[in-house]
Chains A and B, each alone.
Chain A
Amino acid sequence: MATIATTATINWVAPDYATRLRRSRLGLLVALTPVLMLFVSFTSAYVVRQGLPTLDPRTNQLVRDWIPVKLPILLLVNTGVLVLSSAGMELARRQIKNAAQAGATSSTAEVSFNDEGKMPWLGITIVLGLSFLFGQWMAWKQLAANGFYVATTPSSSFVYLLTGAHAVHLMGGVVALLLAGVFALLRRPVTTRSIVVDVTAWYWHFMAALWVYILCLLEFAR
């Protein structure tokens, strides 16, 4: 025998800091999936294209048009900068998380670029991130100076493609960090900024790891 009663409800409770943080991290994890698929797809194209011969119309023979690109040393320096920025990002994440946990009872807890007595890790990360992007731009110029343009050879096409796609994604991270800075200036709650920084930090670490992967692919699968 089934008994029917009235519909059950409870009062809606606003999600607390921990819930919001968990939800945002989950969102980031989901968001990283298509980014991963994008680069998996590029890698797949890289491997396939590398193995394709082309017809030489003069000799009517199948030849390889894949000329390995000698990567600029500058890319190694850039890698170091990005790894450093990732460390800075992690320190910024921990710093603001501590402030957020303390600030759950205080509306005035702030962490910005230049909080007195604290290292401005967020600002340092942004500077390092922008330095990396500038370094990548300089590496492109060096490639061009060495005669490797986008369409010179399929390998150079992929170098520009992969570094460019990665740079665009990292710019997204820089914009998110700037947003956290703007939030600080606007005196938004520290919990909100903490979530922005936390999620961006994980994204940033992912971008650093992705860059190391791209560099390995371009260097060791030439």
Chain B
Amino acid sequence: MATHEFAAQAHAHAAPQGFIRKWIFSLDHKVIGLQYFFLALTAVLVGMFLSLLMRIHLIWPTVPLPLLGEIKPETYLSLLTMHGTIMVFFVLTTAPQGGFGNYFLPIQIGAPDMAFPVLNMLSFWTTFLGFVVLLPAFFVTGGAPLHGWTGYAPLSALQSAGPGEGLGADLWIISIAIFCIGALMGALNFITTTLDMRAKGMTMMRMPLTCWAWFITAILGLLAFGVLLSAGILLLMDRNLGTSFFLPLVTVNGQLTGHKGGSPLLWQHLFWFFGHPEVYIAILPAMGLCSQLLSVFSRKPIFGYKAMVYAMLSIGFLGFMVWGHHMFMSGMSPYTAFAFSIMTMAIGVPSAIKTFNWLGTLWRGKLRFTSPMLFAIGFVSLFVTGGISGPFLAQPVLDIYLHETYFVIAHFHLIMGVASIFGIFAATYYWFPKMFGRMMNETLGKLHFWLTFVGAYAIFMPMHYYGMAAGLRRYSQGTEVAWIQHLLPLQKFITIAAFVTIASQFIFVFNLFWSMKKGKKASDNPWEATTLEWTTATPPPHDNFGGKTPVVRNGPYEYSVPGASRDFVMQSDEEIKKKH
């Protein structure tokens, strides 16, 4: 073998030397994971700021804001669109999978890196490009698009449909298309790495549930993002080449547009075929992580490991069968709606299995209420609260009443937004010591948890009532709508709660950066956990295990093993022989 070939293969790739190769165009999955994490952190700050502007507008619609002036109704719709887009794609999809998945999947399965490091790097920079293309939409002529993160045609398919539907909407579509390509490259790496790079002894059924979650999420992404990409291409053609895929005979200001024969429902079908799995793309990693944390901090094996795996697989599979429940209002046949309704409610079964298994894990455990544990328990709470409103909306008859109301906002924010964000927080507090070699401050962590937990409920619980009282979503000025005047105090309460909750996030941001420099030094295994990332140095070396490969001999959740000298047995410890 040639010398240079041997050198190239001595590690998956050589340790980078210069700043650019080490921190910018790095091939190291850990650095790429951090890049994704900080991209998501930037995005969430932007998305949060937009939500604050929306909340201000909802209760003080005519108050001029410093630098921004008065927020017009169309600007409100732009804020709504960009908030949703940034949060769904660049936060909820990016942080749990691209960030923590990238950093910890290879280490947890005992691999030196991802299968295709160059592709991994390209995946991040493609995602970054998508974000960079999206933000200027605010500043181009007409501003950002109005059509919501779901981009419903015909509004999204006509340049003349309103301010923001010109160049702003084109940038939005191109950004999403670029994001899709980045996400697909990432998914390709996750799947290949999981299938082909596991350490000796790391069978699929010995993988931590986090790895299962990232793996299943990657499969969902692989199947879903291609469809969104196709829809985006068709939409761009309708907008710029005069085609009529999604546009029927339609007039703008009384003038025929020249389009005819297309179907806005075609867009909805394609979009939601992606859109519903996207919910699970956001939340499955959090499910895997919380399973892990509840076991670690209860000092008990996860209750029903195999059931958890099969439940995640079932959720992933069923996630592709239910897109029609987003379209009950579209005039679909009641028989079709019934089928989608039944399939949707069927997801309740694996979801309930997971919930009961989480509770079973906690039951009679030696609970350690650390910050990551609190966020994991908070996740379960939010998952249940947000999930329980799902079966309401899964019934066409109820959905027709609730669909356009704040009830839906409350539902999906709790289950898809806040629950997933709690997963991200839990992951940050849990893995911070491994990533940065220091502990985050526990007091600040707990303060952050309680303010966020109470704050999230204070924001989203009232929205259920607001929705049931016919408070309509997408309305920018409830102050002008007679029948919801009596509900405005509720809106004010929500806005104040949002202020407090968002302010409390700066405790987290401060804790994050302060602890990087000033936090207490972390040991290699501060949580006394069992998975492979805790067997290596803190932070891990370039090739993860210092020229070695772990040999796995135990399952991922061997806690409180009877007769063991300590209450945890690591995956690469000598195989435990249990008494039966």
Contact = CB atoms under 8 A, between A and B. Distances in A.
Contacts of B170: none
Given A5-B574, A54-B248, A57-B256, A30 B223 contact: no
Interface in A78-119: 104-105, 107
Interface string B215-228: 00000001111110
A10 B549 contact: yes
A130 B569 CA distance: 59
B565 A150 contact: no
A165 to B, nearest CB: 7
A206 interface: no
B1 interface: yes
B261 A54 contact: yes
Given A12-B548, A27-B115, A107-B5, A52 B565 contact: no
Interface in B532-580: 535, 543, 545, 547-551, 553, 561-566, 569-570, 572-574, 576-579
Contact of A9 (B223, B233, B549): B549
Interface in B156-209: 184, 187-189, 191-192, 195-197, 200
A2 B578 contact: yes
Interface stretch (B234-242, B300-308, B329-337): B234-242
B270 A151 contact: no
A48 B266 contact: yes
B39 interface: no
Contact of A37 (B2, B223, B242): B223
A40 B226 CA distance: 9
B231 interface: yes
B263 interface: yes
B407 to A, nearest CB: 31
Given A7-B572, A150-B242, A154-B243, A30 B263 contact: no
B263 A49 contact: yes
B132 interface: no
A151 B242 contact: yes
A62 to B, nearest CB: 10
A14 interface: yes
A7 B270 contact: no
B244 interface: yes
B5 A192 contact: yes
Contacts of A9: 545, 548-551, 572
A54 to B, nearest CB: 3
A34 B576 contact: no
A9 B292 CA distance: 23
A71 to B, nearest CB: 18
Interface string B247-277: 0110000001000111100100110010000
A132 to B, nearest CB: 22
A151 B549 contact: no
B112 interface: yes
A189 interface: yes
Interface string A17-52: 000001100110011011111101110110011001
A151 B553 contact: no
Contacts of A191: 5
Nearest to B116: A27
Contacts of B256: 57
A53 interface: yes
B249 A54 contact: yes
A107 B1 contact: yes
A218 B197 CA distance: 42
B196 A26 contact: yes
B10 interface: yes
A157 interface: yes
Contact of A10 (B189, B551, B578): B551
Given A41-B226, A57-B256, A4 B573 contact: yes
Interface residues of B, number: 74
B230 to A, nearest CB: 4
A30 B231 contact: no
A42 B5 contact: no
A67 to B, nearest CB: 11
A8 B243 contact: no
B9 interface: yes
A175 interface: no
B548 A53 contact: no
A165 B579 CA distance: 60
A3 interface: yes
B229 interface: yes
Contacts of B576: 2-4
A73 interface: no
Given A3-B577, A52-B263, A57-B249, A15 B270 contact: no
B263 A48 contact: yes
A55 interface: yes
Nearest to A43: B230
A104 B515 CA distance: 50
Contact of B200 (A10, A36, A154, A165): A10
Contact of A41 (B187, B227, B261): B227
B475 to A, nearest CB: 31
Interface string B469-508: 0000000000000000000000000000000000000000
Given A12-B545, A151-B242, A41 B231 contact: yes
Contacts of B231: 41
Contact of B9 (A14, A22, A27, A52): A14
Contacts of B562: 1-2
B223 A33 contact: yes
Given A37-B223, A65-B261, A151-B244, A12 B566 contact: no
Interface of B: 1-6, 9-11, 112, 115-116, 184, 187-189, 191-192, 195-197, 200, 222-227, 229-231, 233-234, 237, 241-245, 248-249, 256, 260-263, 266, 269-270, 273, 535, 543, 545, 547-551, 553, 561-566, 569-570, 572-574, 576-579
16 contacts: A1-B563, A2-B564, A4-B566, A8-B553, A11-B547, A12-B549, A23-B197, A30-B188, A30-B192, A31-B188, A37-B227, A48-B269, A49-B263, A104-B1, A150-B242, A157-B237
Q: Which 8 A-B pairs have the closest CB atoms?
A: A54-B261, A37-B226, A151-B242, A107-B2, A5-B574, A34-B226, A14-B9, A41-B230
